[in-house]
């Protein structure tokens, strides 16, 4: 996954389409709210895009982390912001999932957020500490069978694609794992590398560096096909037929933001 090139290409495209209104907008910095703490994929994506986007727009794009509430706190902050083009949301899979998990959300994501652009789709990756006694999915399942209720599965929060990827794995394999939700991938990764939890189905961008440095061991990717940046890592589906999960990310603004700004 050539993630950086993909996102920089998006910024080039934005630069080609902003000329008609560049003199009017923006005339001050733009706030980009990431509804998770630093070091997770949402944070990584926003910071990769923010610098070249700032150069294209001629105003600084400031990334602001607003974690909590399973992604809902940051999302609500954007919804309540003025629809003037100066507040953006890093849209992520939890925005599409949370309506099924929370009965009394104070907003309707589809109604209250205007879509601006898609950024990237990425696989998740099943990662464990280097000392974990399994080197592939088959060995992990054997360990799970022989160590019932001894595997703690971290996630970046309830309802995230990281959580759902793990739950799908549990349902398709009958592997009994205890879900341990964190307030973002950053703290989950810290505890995983510290052997406080045993497995994480993380979005690839936030785990890639730890895999390459040897701080984490990748057992499989969750996409249907192998990931080009990790060609020697098999897919979960090679061992668990039919398994597939990916994550998508994009940009949104408050409903009512002028169409010429969104375009």
146-193: pLDDT as tens digits: 999 899 999 999 989 999 999 999 999 999 999 999 989 999 999 999
Q: Give mean pLDDT, residues 251-259.
A: 98
Asked whether residue 106 falls in the same domain as residue 198, the answer is no
Give the confidence band of 45 by pLDDT, cuts at 50, 70, 90.
Answer: very high
Q: Give mean pLDDT, residues 210-221.
A: 98
Asked whether residue 166 falls in the same domain as residue 252, the answer is no
Residue 167: per-residue pLDDT: 98
Residue 24: per-residue pLDDT: 85
Q: Give mean pLDDT, residues 202-224.
A: 97
Asked whether residue 145 falls in the same domain as residue 196, the answer is yes
Residue 2: per-residue pLDDT: 44
Q: Judge contact between 35 and 71, C-beta under 8 A.
A: yes
Give the confidence band of 232 by pLDDT, cuts at 50, 70, 90.
Answer: very high
Q: Give mean pLDDT, residues 243-260.
A: 97
pLDDT above 70 as % of the chain = 91
Give the domain extent around 67.
3-121+248-262
Give the confidence band of 263 by pLDDT, cuts at 50, 70, 90.
Answer: confident
Q: What is the DSSP letter of 83?
A: S
Q: How far apart are CA 76 and CA 13, in angstroms?
A: 29
Does residue 225 carry a pLDDT above 90? yes
Residue 15: per-residue pLDDT: 52
Q: How far apart are CA 260 and CA 103, in angstroms?
A: 34
Asked whether residue 212 falls in the same domain as residue 154, the answer is yes
Asked whether residue 116 falls in the same domain as residue 162, the answer is no
Does residue 201 carry a pLDDT above 70? yes
Asked whether residue 133 falls in the same domain as residue 198, the answer is yes
Of 31, 41, 217, 240, the closest CA to residue 141 belongs to 240
Three-state DSSP state, 4 = helix
Q: Rounded to the nearest 10 degrees, what angle do helices 41-57 and 3-17 cross at? A: 30
Q: Give mean pLDDT, residues 69-74.
A: 93
Mean pLDDT of the chain: 92
Asked whether residue 68 falls in the same domain as residue 171, the answer is no
Asked whether residue 109 falls in the same domain as residue 165, the answer is no
Could you tell me the CATH number of the domain that includes residue 256?
A: 3.40.190.150
- How many domains would you assign to the chain? 2
Give the confidence band of 21 by pLDDT, cuts at 50, 70, 90.
Answer: very low
Look up residue 201 and give its two tokens.
Answer: 């189905």
Residue 9: per-residue pLDDT: 55
Asked whether residue 150 falls in the same domain as residue 41, the answer is no
Give the confidence band of 54 by pLDDT, cuts at 50, 70, 90.
Answer: very high
Could you tell me the CATH number of the domain that includes residue 187?
A: 3.40.190.10
Residue 134: per-residue pLDDT: 98
Q: Give mean pLDDT, residues 57-78.
A: 96
Asked whether residue 45 falls in the same domain as residue 146, the answer is no
The DSSP bridge partners found for residue 155 are 181
What is the reported pTM?
Answer: 0.83
Q: Is 67 left (phi over 0), alpha (psi -120 to 50) or beta?
A: beta
Q: Give mean pLDDT, residues 119-131.
A: 97
Look up residue 42 and give its two tokens.
Answer: 């949402």
Asked whether residue 254 falls in the same domain as residue 198, the answer is no
Asked whether residue 35 falls in the same domain as residue 92, the answer is yes
């Amino acid at each position: 996954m050539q993630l950086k090139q993909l996102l920089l290409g998006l910024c080039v495209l934005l630069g080609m389409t902003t000329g008609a209104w560049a003199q009017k907008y923006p005339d001050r910095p733009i706030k980009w709210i990431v509804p998770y703490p630093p070091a997770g994929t949402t944070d990584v994506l926003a910071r990769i895009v923010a610098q070249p986007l700032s150069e294209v727009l001629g105003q600084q794009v400031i990334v602001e982390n607003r974690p909590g509430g399973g992604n809902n706190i940051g999302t609500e902050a954007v919804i309540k912001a003025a629809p003037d083009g100066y507040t953006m949301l890093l849209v992520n899979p939890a925005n599409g999932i949370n309506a099924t998990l929370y009965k009394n959300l104070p907003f309707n994501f589809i109604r209250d957020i205007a879509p601006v652009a898609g950024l990237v789709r990425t696989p998740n990756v099943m990662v464990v500490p280097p000392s974990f006694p399994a080197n592939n999915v088959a060995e992990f399942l054997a360990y799970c069978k022989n160590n019932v209720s001894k595997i703690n599965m971290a996630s970046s929060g309830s309802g995230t694609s990281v959580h759902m990827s793990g739950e799908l794995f549990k349902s398709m394999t009958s592997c009994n794992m205890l879900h341990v939700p964190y307030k973002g991938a950053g703290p989950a990764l810290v505890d995983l590398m510290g052997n406080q939890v045993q497995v994480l189905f993380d979005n690839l961008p936030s785990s890639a560096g730890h895999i390459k440095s040897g701080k984490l061991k990748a057992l499989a990717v969750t996409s249907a096909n192998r990931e080009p940046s990790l060609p020697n890592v098999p897919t979960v589906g090679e061992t668990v037929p039919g398994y597939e999960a990916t994550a998508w990310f994009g940009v949104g603004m408050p409903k009512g933001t002028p169409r010429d700004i969104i375009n």
